[in-house]
Chain A
Amino acid sequence: MLGNDIVDLDLAKIQSNWRRKNYLDKIFTSKEQSLIASANKPDEMVWRLWSMKESAYKIHNRKTGIRDFAPKRLSCTVYVDDYGEVDINGYIYFTRSNVQASFIHTIAAPVYDNLEKIKVAIYELPDHPVDYKRTNPGCVSHHGQYLALVY
């Protein structure tokens, strides 16, 4: 199983004010909050962690059938070179994030070695293929200008 999540950073800027009182505390563990507080680019860290959680949740949700909104129970660890892992109740999902100026895209897999095998396609409006579902992507993520597919 594969997961992926894309964040359009320009849209995130207007759609979400993470500096709002109590916002970070609702979704990030204390460890994640210190990563954000000490980051050179806090916006980037917020959305990187968020896309890690979302991409891992998408696998976990399909695997367990559990649907809930408990972002704080998804605990992220960030490693060098954009790698990371997300712990959801003891299930570990490995992630790799692609951080660009205008978007952040994270892929997730339950087995570390599978990360290297994932094929990624990212499309920007207006160039979204209309028939992408026929290509049977393993996971689909939309946000703002972007459509991200993984195989």
Chain B
Amino acid sequence: MNKEEIIEALKTIIEPYSEDAAALAQIDENTDFIKDLKINSANLVDIVLDVEEKFNIEIDNDSMAKMLTVKATAEIIAQKSKANAG
């Protein structure tokens, strides 16, 4: 998966956790889950679990700590998927 495909897949994961339709429509790399999408912090855990299931990767605590934006999350997914493949 390239970066664009990862971000597209990520959008589908994120959608159910935000009620801000306008912000969802404008998701890009710099979107912040809490500041921009008003996602409840307890739901960030669901996003992490959904990402693990969808991409078949395991997200350690240090990686999870960075998962506050689309960009950081996409980077972690790319990095972990690559490690899996290798």
- Establish whether residues B43 and A69, one from each chain, have CB atoms under 8 Å apart when the complex forms: no
User: How far apart are the CA atoms of A26 and B47 in the complex, in Å?
Assistant: 11
Which residue of B40, B41, B46, B49 contacts A69 across the interface (Cβ within 8 Å)? B41
- Could you tell me the dominant secondary structure of chain B's interface residues? helix
Give the residues in chain A near B66, CB-CB below 8 Å.
68-69
Q: Which of A12, A54, A67 has the most CB of B within 10 A?
A: A67
B68 at the interface (CB under 8 A from A): yes
- Establish whether residues A70 and B61, one from each chain, have CB atoms under 8 Å apart when the complex forms: yes
- Establish whether residues B61 and A68, one from each chain, have CB atoms under 8 Å apart when the complex forms: no
Whole-angstrom distance from the CB of A58 to the nearest CB of chain B? Answer: 11
B42 at the interface (CB under 8 A from A): yes
Interface size in chain A (residues, C-beta < 8 A): 20
A15-23, A77-85, A94-102, A105-113: which lies at the interface:
A15-23
Name the residue of chain B whose CB is nearest to the CB of A22.
Answer: B49
Give the residues in chain B near A17, CB-CB below 8 Å.
46
B67 at the interface (CB under 8 A from A): yes
- Establish whether residues B40 and A68, one from each chain, have CB atoms under 8 Å apart when the complex forms: no
B-contacting residues, A21-75, CB 8 Å: 21-23, 26-27, 50, 54, 67-73
Known: A26-B48, A26-B49. A72 touches B42 (CB 8 A): no
Name the residue of chain B whose CB is nearest to the CB of A27.
Answer: B45
Give the residues in chain B near A22, CB-CB below 8 Å.
49, 52
Contact with A along B32-71 (1 / 0, CB 8 A): 0000000011111110110010000000011011111000
- Establish whether residues A69 and B64, one from each chain, have CB atoms under 8 Å apart when the complex forms: yes
Give the residues in chain A near B46, CB-CB below 8 Å.
16-17, 20, 23
- Establish whether residues A15 and B40, one from each chain, have CB atoms under 8 Å apart when the complex forms: yes
Give the residues in chain B near A72, CB-CB below 8 Å.
61
